[in-house]
Structure 1
Amino acid sequence: MTKGLHVPSEIGALKKVCLHRPGEELLNLPPFELERLLFDDVPFLEVAQEEHDTFAQILRDQGVEVLYLEKLVAEVFDTVPEAREEFLDQYIAEAGIKGQEMPKVVREKLNSITDNLEFVQKTMAGLTKAEIDMPLHASTTLDSLVNSDSESDLIIDPMPNLYFTRDPFAVVGNGVCLNRMYSVTRNRETLYGKYIFKYHPDYKDVSLYFRRDAAFHTEGGDVLNINEHTLAVGISQRTQAAAIDVMAQNIFWNSDSKVDRILAFDIPNNRAMMHLDTVFTQIDVDKFTIHPAIMGTLKVYELTPGTTPGDVKIKEICDTLEHILEDATGVDQIKLIPCGGGDPIAAAREQWNDGSNTLAVAPGKICVYARNTVTNDVLYKEGLDLLVVPSAELSRGRGGPRCMSMPFWREDL
């Protein structure tokens, strides 16, 4: 049983991965709240769970140990009981609960759940007014009455994006970036990572390269481990350039880290390309899937350690993606495989369903969504071994197999 984290690449044989099985948070998604909660549609939970269970089993069949985010947090509370109270204080403070009385009522409700796994799942699912018995008594305030009759039936928002475990934190080599996420809706998700990396017996000693209370926002979908010395990070809708500065300072001078170069890719700021991993992912030693819209000359910044601790040197690289990746990987000839096989309509459609967002289980062996038939056919013809994940409902959350997984351990190449 390995303790700690070890992810020196995107394609080394995957040995341990963290997932979150979609839960009741998807049942607390009212259609009129979808945009605020960063969803485009309401997934059918039972089918989404079946698809996710198939994904997890595909990984197990490849010899991968599957860890579940909700179970890791429950294990923390089982082994360190006082951590649950500390978590609950912070959870309630960040839950956006309206009214003076309601935080106390919510605390009593959550404290009544004695099983730690059930407790964690409830905090993820959110809380509706129908679940709370609000007594009317002398100390009731106008504020609490007005807010109890407000339009939303949600006392605490659900966290429907949690099955995309790639984003709240990102494993880099032997350490982790615990992120401050772009939206208030998703930033609460990072609370679970905080307690895993603070208290879990297997993960409490890992180095933190970024913290959830940082001034700038970043998300794990923008972080790709090219190799143990080179990290690629997207400057995107979800990750600020200033966050990469912080990352560089914390990674370059940490004895746990071998990374001595960060490539910051400036990518378009839109929902179809919200993260670097929706634009390209590594699938083999010499192959990447890409979104055709990213082709051409890219603006990339190279960050390296300066001569004194804390000093970071930055230079701009204007070159093609092929040349930049050939230099980063040390491979003579990189092959870029376009989503949709280069057909503009197929590319746009399959990019929307994360055709470029693949999870490598080993070099040349990748998890893909079943629905991206055009892209998958191209990948087959390129000699790749495809592990096909059913995706009718999972894809509604706008994230692919890479988005749904956070590797904790990969073998060295």
Structure 2
Amino acid sequence: MGADAEIGALLRGARCALRLTQTEVGNACGYSASAVSRIESGRMGIDYPTLLKFAAFLRIPPEQLRASAVPGMTNVATVAGGCRSVEEDEVRRRNLLTGVVAAGATAFVGADPAAAAPVDLDVALFRLPQAEPVPLPRLVAQIASARRDYCATEYARLGQVLPNLIATATATRDASSGRAREEADMALARTYVLAAEFATKQHSDAAWVAADRALAAARSSGIPVAVGEASRQLAIAMRRSGRSTAAVHLLTKEASDLDASRDHTGAVRTTLLLTGAYSAATGRDRSTALSLLEEAEQETGKHPAVPGLFTVEATRTQVDAYRISVLNALGTPDEAVDVAARLNVDQMSTAERRARAWTDVARMWNALGDSEQTFATLQRVEQEAPQEVRRPALRALTTGLLYGPTRIEGIREFAARTGALVA
């Protein structure tokens, strides 16, 4: 779900909760009822000041607004191009990231403050804690452990270890030289890739910063796999800011630079093509999206699955999951029904990937107007990964069902359990 669609679902849910009509909301906010309808359906974007006006009228709590995708807000990676000083940019980035990351972390761990300490990812990105270098094998093992938390969707626990992990990886890289420094650069790149993935789950602009630093470290390492993994994260950040064409250009260029004949680089290349296909679809470039998707599918038959990579697995099952995402983004979810019917989610090796696949199927059913199937699929997401279903995008989808025209048994309890319904 794109940023406009998530904001639309949030506004629609709040309006329905207050039993207001679109006309009443439009009159209060200076829009026609038809414009409100387009905003709620994600077909019309609004800038940040307008969003604040809607939020104030609809009594949307600030923390709920921060935890959602915010359109029209300048991205962290592009702030430096303005006229503010470096010090002002730093303060702005910290303030922005503190709000967004903390709100997202609360969504993962629930409202109970005892569940986990606040995740302050911007501290790790802009004010690294003190850390000592460690032997490279120990660092690699720590990164692998954090990666397992991500794949198991243990986001609360991951958030606790990321700041120190980034600091330790940085200290280890700085204390290394020669070939050991190249390997330490790759380890640092993979740590920042993990941070970018974590921030993306929270819809945080911290993903821009983490992905940029991942790519810088990856290029310093000179290791193609690391460069490919980091490039993919930067392209995702670009896409989520609305720069789909630039994301596709980056992904296809990096894919062309990788040796498709080797298993590791070939597998990374395949995932770059898959991400490129979805990026093109979000820009409504159907021909490019389907072309990249077919190329990725052809590549999966040439290489075995490679365990240990930080990207998605290059398998036909993963291609099918991406095909559903692509068709949803292109506005043709009906074409995805047959794909969803043959999709064997159980073949995916991690809870995170299985939950993501079910999420795409839920979005397909929601776009087709089948609320019962949408809810049933959201329940599959919860079964696979309870913390995944608390993400802002899925809470927005749940809110839409909660206040939609179809009465669904169990949806209110599900919404309360997953944070979509705030008492």
State TM-score, norm by structure 1.
0.32
Higher relative contact order (CA 8 A, sep 6+): 1
Greater fraction strand: 1
State TM-score, norm by structure 2.
0.32
